[in-house]
Chain A
């Protein structure tokens, strides 16, 4: 069973919001990923999103693209990412892990086999950026059957009709893209988010995380007031890119702690 729903319930009881950092598996190198995951949890992450590297990350900005390229240089494949999660689970049985990426590597593995492996290694949710609900009934059926939550994006441009469709298949949480553009862009409109989130709640009972464009503690704090969780990706990946390997874990931990403190002030 997925750990995502119980995690949001606990946070709600505490009156707290989820901090959901994102890193790409295998960046800066495959040996560091599991340590980075543990460091994220220690620094205050509630859920971890792990990017599965892909050769053609169409929805990502330059920062996450480069992280994908670094991981692919190390030959990191989907089965390696699953192995990393398995290793993480040997010492962390409770923090939800969500894989985020593109559909083709999963297609190559086969959705059923992938869903079985996710359940075995302890993946709780899967966000396939380029697989909308209408194209993927069978794929998401496999995830449902094995207790893995399909996570979906909602955008400022998503129609009410499409929100209804997403609501039928989504589990865990939904991920609201807070701006028009790719990951890491920087023109976030807080008042638009404040309007849109209550609107989405009319259609979807799941918790709502907000991401794309959250670049500092202040924005994280402001956004967390409006929703149930804050996703921070490009800013953390940027920190990984800017740090040399000896200090990368410490630098990422410091950044995530800042974000945690900011969100706790809400």
Chain B
């Protein structure tokens, strides 16, 4: 089955599009034209491939989590090791790609929004690498919660701007980055960190993140076949979209996105936009949103700052409605259990975001035969989460 989304105007069925103020339209036109040009330019492609191999460390391996699979007593779990990338997550693929594009567009200044700080660190990293000025917007609440990542960004030469408006979290950082962009359009490139925002971002970020559909080649080599299901966590949805896209046209491979159910869907304290939200328009695109009955965006809650976002990439909205992917939600406590289990049985410390995907795999693996294969995207490593995990375990570091 051919999958041809988005269309030429950036729509995934009814979702996506370009919902921005007129003041940004010129910049998006310019970006679209540059992306169309360079994404097929051999010199750009060669430089990007070189950087991914030698700077990021791609391809990342796939690993058979034998011990954990055995303990769970069902399906075999394989992990796509994005945690082994430079900077510790899948995010850097995207920032390398966008920075190379910015360089060619003659933009000496890059800006980014960040929640937990992973995308901010990945942006500060490439800005240092390519000699660009870098400003990262981060909600004032997140600045307090993620002091180590703030320091990392500063070490890398970035300016971190705490955002005091609204709920002082990721969505407000995104608003502020948009405001900076519209004010400094001539010299500034906005590196969006997920598959959301106005066209062409959702398409561009998806393609940059999973540059070469590595898993489709690696799985037969290691497991002898493609997986029965691919499982990935979904906040904005970049790591999930990266890995799903490799498999969208492969029949028989189930795609499962795992959202953050926080303290439980019934508590209202969660970040599960696809599972519990309604379609609407925010941050440049139409998608599922957590909102009240008057269309105001509501605050989200998750133990993992990277999933703590009230919207989701528009392609996920479309994959949900079209039935090609299924979306489920995992609570904080379940994600923490998977976090500890992976540490214990495999010697791998996963990011709390990725732990949501692991937790769902752990839930369904025992119900499946041992000949079944699950591929979980281990989107990032958990070093950044030490303080959070210690705190909920009642340990003072």
Instruction: Name the distance in Å between B299's Cβ and chain A's nearest Cβ.
Output: 9
B21 near A153: Cβ-Cβ < 8 Å: yes
Kindly state the separation between the CA atoms of A131 and B29 in the bound complex, as whole angstroms: 16
Q: Does B165 contact A (CB under 8 A)?
A: yes
Set of chain A residues within 8 Å of B22, measured between Cβ atoms: 132, 152-155, 158, 162, 177
Set of chain B residues within 8 Å of A162, measured between Cβ atoms: 22, 25
Q: Does B166 contact A (CB under 8 A)?
A: yes
Set of chain A residues within 8 Å of B18, measured between Cβ atoms: 132, 134-135
Q: Kindly state the interface size class of chain A when it binds its partner.
A: 35 or more
Beta-carbon nearest neighbor of A78 in chain B: B294
Set of chain B residues within 8 Å of A182, measured between Cβ atoms: 179, 182-183
Q: Does A181 contact B (CB under 8 A)?
A: yes
Instruction: Name the distance in Å between A143's Cβ and chain B's nearest Cβ.
Output: 16
Which of A66, A102, A155 touches B26 (beta carbons < 8 Å)? A155
Set of chain B residues within 8 Å of A141, measured between Cβ atoms: none
Kindly state the separation between the CA atoms of A129 and B182 in the bound complex, as whole angstroms: 14
Q: Does B175 contact A (CB under 8 A)?
A: yes
Q: Does A130 contact B (CB under 8 A)?
A: yes
Q: Does A30 contact B (CB under 8 A)?
A: no
Which of A72, A79, A104 touches B281 (beta carbons < 8 Å)? A104
Kindly state the separation between the CA atoms of A158 and B25 in the bound complex, as whole angstroms: 7
B295 near A56: Cβ-Cβ < 8 Å: no
Kindly state the separation between the CA atoms of A107 and B281 in the bound complex, as whole angstroms: 8
Instruction: Name the distance in Å between B67's Cβ and chain A's nearest Cβ.
Output: 45
A177 near B23: Cβ-Cβ < 8 Å: yes
A130 near B183: Cβ-Cβ < 8 Å: no
Q: Does A44 contact B (CB under 8 A)?
A: no
B297 near A104: Cβ-Cβ < 8 Å: yes
Question: Which of B182-212 touch A at CB < 8 Å?
Answer: 182-183, 185
B182 near A132: Cβ-Cβ < 8 Å: no
B29 near A159: Cβ-Cβ < 8 Å: yes
B23 near A155: Cβ-Cβ < 8 Å: yes
Instruction: Name the distance in Å between B151's Cβ and chain A's nearest Cβ.
Output: 27
* Interface residues on chain B, number (Cβ under 8 Å): 38
Query: Per-residue 0/1 for B287-319: is the Cβ within 8 Å of any A Cβ (1 yes, 0 no)?
Result: 001010111111000000000000000000000
Question: Which of A144-167 touch B at CB < 8 Å?
Answer: 152-155, 157-159, 162
Set of chain A residues within 8 Å of B9, measured between Cβ atoms: 134
Q: Which of A17-25, A57-65, A241-249, A254-262 contacts B (4 or more CB under 8 A)?
A: A57-65
Instruction: Name the distance in Å between A137's Cβ and chain B's nearest Cβ.
Output: 12
Given contacts A130-B281, A134-B9, contact A58 B26 (CB under 8 A): no
Instruction: Name the distance in Å between B310's Cβ and chain A's nearest Cβ.
Output: 9
Q: Does A119 contact B (CB under 8 A)?
A: no
Kindly state the separation between the CA atoms of A104 and B172 in the bound complex, as whole angstroms: 16
B166 near A56: Cβ-Cβ < 8 Å: yes
Question: Which of B5-40 touch A at CB < 8 Å?
Answer: 9, 17-23, 25-27, 29
Instruction: Name the distance in Å between A229's Cβ and chain B's nearest Cβ.
Output: 17
B295 near A132: Cβ-Cβ < 8 Å: no
Q: Does B230 contact A (CB under 8 A)?
A: no
Set of chain B residues within 8 Å of A155, measured between Cβ atoms: 21-23, 25-26
Kindly state the separation between the CA atoms of A185 and B185 in the bound complex, as whole angstroms: 14
Q: Does A215 contact B (CB under 8 A)?
A: no
Instruction: Name the distance in Å between B266's Cβ and chain A's nearest Cβ.
Output: 22
Instruction: Name the distance in Å between A216's Cβ and chain B's nearest Cβ.
Output: 21
Set of chain B residues within 8 Å of A185, measured between Cβ atoms: 183
Set of chain A residues within 8 Å of B27, measured between Cβ atoms: 157
Kindly state the separation between the CA atoms of A221 and B19 in the bound complex, as whole angstroms: 33
Set of chain A residues within 8 Å of B183, measured between Cβ atoms: 180-182, 185
Instruction: Name the distance in Å between B211's Cβ and chain A's nearest Cβ.
Output: 30
Q: Does B178 contact A (CB under 8 A)?
A: yes
Given contacts A132-B20, A135-B19, A182-B183, contact A104 B282 (CB under 8 A): yes
Kindly state the separation between the CA atoms of A61 and B172 in the bound complex, as whole angstroms: 13
A108 near B294: Cβ-Cβ < 8 Å: yes
Beta-carbon nearest neighbor of B177 in chain A: A58
Given contacts A103-B19, A108-B280, A177-B23, contact A69 B178 (CB under 8 A): no
Kindly state the separation between the CA atoms of A182 and B179 in the bound complex, as whole angstroms: 6
Q: Can you name 18 A-B pairs with beta carbons within 8 Å?
A: A54-B295, A55-B297, A55-B298, A56-B282, A58-B175, A59-B21, A65-B166, A66-B165, A102-B281, A104-B289, A108-B280, A130-B19, A135-B18, A153-B21, A153-B23, A158-B26, A180-B182, A180-B183
With A104-B296, A129-B21, A132-B19 known, 15 other A-B pairs at CB within 8 A are A55-B296, A58-B175, A65-B165, A65-B166, A72-B296, A104-B281, A104-B289, A130-B20, A134-B18, A135-B17, A154-B22, A158-B22, A159-B29, A180-B183, A181-B23
